Amino acid sequence: MSEKSPEQTRTFATMVAAKQGWVLNPDAAFTDSLIEGLTVNWNRYGYYLCPCRDSDGSRAADADVICPCAYSWKDIETHGHCFCALYLAPAFAQRGEQPSGIPDRRYVH
């Protein structure tokens, strides 16, 4: 498994956003920190574990929180941003709204 650089991770996140019709959080310093977290997780676990969540110990156990996580679509639709606020809905970003803390849908049923 080859290591990823933050630049490679940024390319990944940019492609995810483009594919899903989302935008990256325009707060550059904040987004940089999440990109860094994703990169660290890739190099530690071998997959893009969400930078805002802890590993449950295996790829299978973490499958729902590998970026883009299983909850991101619903969170972006409902709140305008994913749990980490890496990805935003374009309209939310255009309004200049600030992401807020939202419940982790992983534990909300």
Whole-angstrom distance, CA of residue 4 vs CA of residue 6: 7
Structure tokens at 31: 């987004």
Q: Are 79 and 105 in contact (CB under 8 A)?
A: no
Nearer to ligand SF4, 39 or 72 (CB): 72
SS3 at position 100: coil
Ramachandran region, residue 96 (left: φ > 0; alpha: ψ -120 to 50; beta: rest): left
In this chain, which of 87, 89, 92, 105 binds ligand SF4, going by CB under 6 A?
87
Angstrom distance (rounded) from CA 58 to CA 29 = 30
Site track for ligand SF4 across 27-66, x = CB under 6 A: -----------------------x-x------------x-
Q: How far is the CB of 33 from ligand SF4 (least distance, A)?
A: 11
Kindly indicate which of the ranges 23-31, 54-62, 78-86, 88-96 contains the residues binding ligand SF4, using the contact rule CB under 6 A.
78-86
Please give the residue ranges that form the binding site for ligand SF4 (CB under 6 A): 50, 52, 65, 67-69, 72, 82-84, 86-87
